[in-house]
């Protein structure tokens, strides 16, 4: 179930990320270890996370996910292993909160994207998800974020 969407402008956010391009069916195998790796390196470097873990998807095709797994940070991470410094852009966005199992995220995105178009906005091709409570929670919460074209 999604909360009522809202439109906002967000500032640029420094991030520590691992970029992955993987077969879609491998997402469950690689996402958790990548999140752990990012957090270990951020902690080892003494950098404070400034928000929850996220994924920033650049391209979602039927068989391929091209995305970053990361965390917003207070200062640049030094490249280490697969982790690099990056950022989420300053941009106009639409966002909503989805609460429910990850298996139904696709339907939540469809509902959200329909709302964006029905309300006269033009989404950009990328998107991100911020994981406010994880799969261990009885009710996982995920913020869905879609950058919008400026009118």
Q: Convert the pLDDT of each residue in 66-77 to its tens digit.
A: 999 999 999 999
pLDDT for residue 134 is more than 80 = no
Report the C-alpha gap between 79 and 65 in whole angstroms.
23
- pLDDT bin (cut points 50, 70, 90) of residue 145 is very high
CATH homologous superfamily of 6-147 equals: Regulatory factor, effector binding domain (3.20.80.10)
Residue whose entry in the numeric block shows the structure tokens 């909160």: 97
What is the radius of gyration, based on Cα positions, of the chain? 15
Q: What is the pLDDT of residue 2?
A: 84
- pLDDT bin (cut points 50, 70, 90) of residue 135 is low
- pLDDT bin (cut points 50, 70, 90) of residue 98 is very high
- 3-class secondary-structure state, position 142: strand
Quick one: 88 exposed, middle or buried, by C-beta within 10 A (0-12, 13-18, 19+)?
buried
In the chain, what are the domain boundaries? 6-147
Quick one: 150 exposed, middle or buried, by C-beta within 10 A (0-12, 13-18, 19+)?
exposed
């Amino acid at each position: 179930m999604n909360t009522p969407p809202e439109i906002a402008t967000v500032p640029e956010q420094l991030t520590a990320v691992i970029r992955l391009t993987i077969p879609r069916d491998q997402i469950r195998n690689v996402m958790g270890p990548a999140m752990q790796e990012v957090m270990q390196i951020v902690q080892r470097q003494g950098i404070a996370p400034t928000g929850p873990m996220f994924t920033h998807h650049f391209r979602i095709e039927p068989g391929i996910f091209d995305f970053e797994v990361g965390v917003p940070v207070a200062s640049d991470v030094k490249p280490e292993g697969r982790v690099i410094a990056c950022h989420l852009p300053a941009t106009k966005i639409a966002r909503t909160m989805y609460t429910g199992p990850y298996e139904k995220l696709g339907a939540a995105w469809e509902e959200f994207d329909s709302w964006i178009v029905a309300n006269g906005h033009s989404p950009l091709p990328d998107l991100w998800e911020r994981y406010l409570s994880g799969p261990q929670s009885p009710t996982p919460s995920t913020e869905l974020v879609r950058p919008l074209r400026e009118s």
